[in-house]
Amino acid sequence: MSRNQDHGMVDTTQLTEQNFDETLVATPGLVMVDFWAEWCGPCRAIAPVLEEVAEASDGVTLMKVNIDEHPGLAARYEIRSIPTILFVKEGAVVDRIIGAAPRAVVQGIVNARLS
């Protein structure tokens, strides 16, 4: 499992096809999984929003999947457009955002799924 500092804010786990299932099951609380690519402008636009929400919300973890490096995961979760953010709780997808949604939308889902 590799970790990096995106935008200097929050420690983000980079998911791979090898660690995806194990990491999600082992992570308590709500996990936001950001399916993205380096060439995607909207992905770069929403990244700081996701990081801010994860940092400000107890019990929320942000993880990322680069679809160019792990196309099998994108296919498995029927990712047709990026960015797509999956909200995972107890190993199951409980919500999804497609596109660069405003912070209020992301925060609303997080608040609803944490309660």
CA 39 – CA 87 distance, rounded (Å) = 23
Which residue, among 9, 73, 80, 75, has the nearest Cα to 47 in the 3D structure? 9
Cβ contacts of 37 within 8 Å, gap of 6 or more:
43, 66, 67, 68, 82
- What SS3 state is found at 65? strand
Catalytic residue, chosen from 10, 30, 33, 43, is: 43
Name the one residue in this structure whose structure tokens are 């953010």: 85
CA 79 – CA 53 distance, rounded (Å) = 22
64 is catalytic: no
43 is catalytic: yes
Catalytic residue, chosen from 40, 47, 63, 79, is: 40
The pairing of beta strand 10-14 with beta strand 2-6:
antiparallel
Catalytic residues: 40, 43
